[in-house]
């Protein structure tokens, strides 16, 4: 008599233990996580200079008008916004250069563009003189800005798209995103520390070091060169230490590979979520709006904090380095709390806590017209809140992508498109509302930048809260694609069962 099959001694608990062991075995080692995080260091260094000092450099140092400075920043944001989704689409379709991974190939191309173009943006116009019209300077800087933004977008999208490919666990995604943001904060700390050092080394003209002017051109030129050299070293670490999984074109299962005859009805394999399918998903737009609001808070506060310090609070120019430094130190420290806090209270409540901190900063600025040492406390609040909402929003984007990593670059590209376009248009609108279009700063700009800081933090934080409420009511998940696939599979199974019944019925009649 045949012995009945024995039940596995592992049971449910044993299966869970095996799954946990597999997850531990597949966890990304610390060295790989650090090398991955280093891959966006160059972008972060350049972004810190771009958002914090570009308007200040073009207007206060080179003497260009507010509208020209805002127009150049808007041109860069538009170029970045247009390049990002296109690069995301192409990055998902390409197979990489030879045996080099497709994400790392785009990362290398983007890094090269950034290295060759960025130093020219923070250097004086070559060939321009005092009587050169400002539109000529605009034409001069525009190609360098477009090349830089193309390279920046290629590096950003390829780097973000690696997150769901390197790790699969939700908590590991949060941890990897936190590592990435920690390097972002370190990059900003590096930029502001170097800026403080270079500004304090101006000992040849001590009577002119309290306010920015044409004498500070070497400071920003040297700062951009140091940033590019340091970022190139970290990019090399990324390419040497990060191992991308092979993903050649044509490796995905095609419909033709499915057997024509099957012994029993089987559920068809789930088709891949293409870029067109994302446009039909409500969750895609939910996350896009939240991510856009998050980036508006982070980038606009970073852009106008220097203007607020020098024009509204009337602080010496050394504060344009020390206050952002405090802001990002607090962000750096809070980024390490993201994983346990997300585990404890979840994504949505973590984001809400960050919004409350941002609102506390906005309330502080609203109620206080003049600040002394207390500005450091306000900066610490803004840094902690910005870090919290940025890390959480990126984790939500990774949750939306899930296992659809083949189209992850398009998702990140679309998110970044909304971010760049909104930031560029917001900056241009603020620059056009400036009450002093011809002077460096008139008395009216004292209150102008005060209310700009309140609105770009507190006002946008309220809009982000509304978007977060929508996500709490309708959680992030792929809806319509799953429904259509379920209906398609059920129809195919029903069709297969009908065919098998029709094949059996003639034989039963003959018997």
Residue 281 shares a structural domain with residue 421: yes
The DSSP 8-state label assigned to residue 213 in this structure reads -
Residue 153 shares a structural domain with residue 297: no
Query: Could you tell me if residue 255 is inside a domain?
Result: no
At 177 the pLDDT is 79
At 439 the pLDDT is 55
Query: Could you tell me if residue 19 is inside a domain?
Result: no
pLDDT confidence of 95, banded at 50, 70, 90?
low
Q: What is the pLDDT of residues 310-339, one digit of tens each?
A: 888 888 878 888 898 898 888 888 877 877
Query: Could you tell me if residue 259 is inside a domain?
Result: no
* Domain total in the chain: 2
Neighbouring C-beta atoms of residue 272, cutoff 10 Å: 13
Residue 155 shares a structural domain with residue 119: yes
Least confident interval from 20-24, 216-220, 320-324: 20-24
Stretch 215-223: mean pLDDT: 89
At 313 the pLDDT is 86
Query: Could you tell me if residue 181 is inside a domain?
Result: yes
Residue 350: which residues within 8 A CB-CB, separation 6 or more?
A: 338, 341, 342, 388, 392
- Whether the per-residue pLDDT at 362 is higher than 90: the answer is yes
- Residue 161: name the closest of 35, 282, 245, 82 by CA: 245
Which of 246, 264, 290 corresponds to the end of one domain? 246
For the chain, the distance separating the N- and C-terminal CA atoms, rounded to the nearest angstrom, is 33
- Please state the separation of Cα 75 from the chain's center in Å: 19
Stretch 189-212: mean pLDDT: 75
Residue 325 shares a structural domain with residue 179: no
- Whether the per-residue pLDDT at 203 is higher than 80: the answer is no
Query: Could you tell me if residue 117 is inside a domain?
Result: yes
Q: What is the pLDDT of residues 367-383, one digit of tens each?
A: 887 887 788 999 999 99
Are 318 and 199 in contact by the 8 Å Cβ rule? The answer is: yes
CATH code (residue 416): 1.20.1250.20
Query: Could you tell me if residue 251 is inside a domain?
Result: no
Residue 43 shares a structural domain with residue 134: yes
- Whether the per-residue pLDDT at 94 is higher than 80: the answer is no
At 389 the pLDDT is 92
Query: Could you tell me if residue 340 is inside a domain?
Result: yes
Residue 234 shares a structural domain with residue 276: no
Least confident interval from 89-98, 258-267, 303-312, 430-439: 258-267
- Whether the per-residue pLDDT at 242 is higher than 50: the answer is yes
- Whether the per-residue pLDDT at 412 is higher than 60: the answer is yes
Residue 297 shares a structural domain with residue 238: no
- Residue 341: name the closest of 377, 292, 391, 307 by CA: 391
- The helix (run of H) or strand (run of E) holding residue 36 is helix 30-37
At 140 the pLDDT is 93
At 98 the pLDDT is 62
- Looking at mean pLDDT, say which of 21-35, 47-61, 142-156, 300-314 comes out highest: 142-156
What CA–CA distance (Å, rounded) separates 77 from 84?
A: 10
Are 420 and 50 in contact by the 8 Å Cβ rule? The answer is: no
- Whether the per-residue pLDDT at 484 is higher than 60: the answer is no
Are 42 and 232 in contact by the 8 Å Cβ rule? The answer is: yes
What CA–CA distance (Å, rounded) separates 223 from 197?
A: 10
More reliable by pLDDT, 506 or 299: 299
Residue 79: which residues within 8 A CB-CB, separation 6 or more?
A: 145, 146, 149, 150
Residue 313 shares a structural domain with residue 189: no
Q: What is the pLDDT of residues 162-187, one digit of tens each?
A: 888 888 777 787 788 778 878 887 88
At 267 the pLDDT is 47
Specify burial of residue 67 (Cβ count, 10 A radius: 0-12, 13-18, 19+).
Answer: middle
Residue 182 shares a structural domain with residue 239: yes
What CA–CA distance (Å, rounded) separates 60 from 152?
A: 26
Q: What is the pLDDT of residues 127-164, one digit of tens each?
A: 888 788 888 989 999 999 999 999 998 998 888 888 88
- Whether the per-residue pLDDT at 448 is higher than 70: the answer is yes
Residue 104 shares a structural domain with residue 188: yes
pLDDT confidence of 2, banded at 50, 70, 90?
very low
At 231 the pLDDT is 94
Which of 182, 212, 246 corresponds to the end of one domain? 246
190-193: long-range contacts at Cβ-Cβ below 8 A with a sequence spacing of 24 or more?
190/45, 190/227, 190/230, 191/45, 191/48, 191/49, 191/52, 191/223, 191/227, 192/48, 192/52, 192/321, 192/322, 192/324, 192/325, 192/328, 193/321, 193/325
Residue 284 shares a structural domain with residue 180: no
Are 265 and 497 in contact by the 8 Å Cβ rule? The answer is: yes
The DSSP 8-state label assigned to residue 270 in this structure reads P
Residue 442 shares a structural domain with residue 339: yes
- Residue 485: name the closest of 266, 267, 270, 252 by CA: 270
Q: What is the pLDDT of residues 228-241, one digit of tens each?
A: 999 999 999 998 88
pLDDT confidence of 205, banded at 50, 70, 90?
low
Domain interval for residue 387: 272-477
Mean pLDDT of the chain: 78
Query: Could you tell me if residue 399 is inside a domain?
Result: yes
> Treating both helix axes as pointing N-terminal to C-terminal, what angle do 170-200 and 41-56 enclose, rounded to 10 degrees?
50
């Amino acid at each position: 008599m045949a012995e009945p099959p024995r039940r596995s001694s592992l049971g449910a608990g044993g299966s869970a233990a095996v799954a946990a062991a597999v997850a531990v075995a597949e966890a990304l080692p610390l060295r790989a996580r650090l090398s991955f995080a280093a891959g966006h260091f160059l972008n972060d260094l350049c972004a810190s200079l771009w958002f914090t000092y570009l308007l200040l450099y073009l207007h206060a140092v080179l003497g260009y008008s507010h509208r020209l400075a805002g127009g150049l920043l808007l041109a860069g944001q538009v170029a970045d916004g247009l390049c990002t989704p296109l690069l995301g689409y192409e990055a998902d379709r390409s197979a990489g250069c030879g045996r080099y991974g497709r994400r790392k190939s785009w990362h290398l191309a983007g890094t090269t563009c950034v290295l060759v173009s960025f130093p020219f943006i923070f250097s004086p116009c070559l060939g321009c003189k005092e009587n050169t019209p400002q539109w000529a300077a605009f034409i001069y800087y525009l190609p360098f800005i477009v090349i830089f933004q193309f390279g920046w977008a290629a590096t950003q999208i390829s780097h973000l798209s690696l997150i769901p490919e390197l790790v699969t666990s939700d908590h590991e995604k949060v941890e990897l995103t936190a590592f990435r943001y920690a390097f972002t904060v370190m990059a900003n700390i590096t930029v502001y520390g170097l800026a403080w050092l270079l500004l304090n080394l101006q000992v040849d003209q001590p009577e002119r070091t309290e306010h920015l002017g044409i004498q500070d051109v070497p400071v920003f030129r040297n700062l951009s060169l140091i940033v590019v050299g340091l970022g190139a070293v970290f990019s090399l670490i990324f390419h040497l230490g990060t191992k991308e999984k092979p993903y050649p074109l044509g490796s995905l299962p095609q419909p033709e590979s499915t057997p024509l005859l099957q012994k029993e009805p089987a559920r068809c394999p789930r088709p891949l979520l293409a870029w067109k399918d994302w446009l039909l998903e409500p969750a895609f737009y939910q996350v896009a709006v939240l991510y856009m609001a998050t980036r508006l808070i982070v980038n606009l506060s970073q852009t106008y904090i220097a203007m607020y310090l020098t024009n509204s609070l009337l602080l010496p120019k050394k504060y344009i380095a020390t206050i952002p430094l405090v802001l990002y130190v607090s962000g750096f420290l809070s980024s390490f709390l993201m994983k346990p806090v997300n585990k404890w209270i979840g994504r949505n409540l973590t984001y809400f806590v960050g919004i409350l901190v941002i609102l506390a900063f906005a309330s502080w600025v609203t109620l206080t017209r003049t600040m002394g040492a207390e500005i450091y406390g306000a900066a610490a609040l803004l840094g902690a809140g910005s870090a919290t909402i940025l890390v959480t929003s990126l984790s939500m984007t990774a949750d939306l992508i899930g296992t659809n990593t083949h189209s992850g670059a398009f998702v990140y590209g679309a998110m970044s498109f909304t971010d760049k376009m909104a930031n560029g248009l917001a900056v241009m609108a603020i620059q056009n509302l400036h009450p002093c279009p011809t002077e460096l700063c008139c008395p009216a700009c004292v209150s102008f930048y005060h209310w700009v800081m309140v609105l770009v933090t507190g006002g946008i934080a309220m809009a982000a809260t509304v978007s977060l409420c929508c996500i709490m009511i309708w959680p992030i998940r792929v809806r319509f694609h799953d429904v259509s696939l379920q209906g398609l599979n059920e129809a195919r199974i029903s069709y297969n069962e009908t065919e098998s019944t029709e094949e059996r019925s003639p034989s039963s009649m003959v018997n």
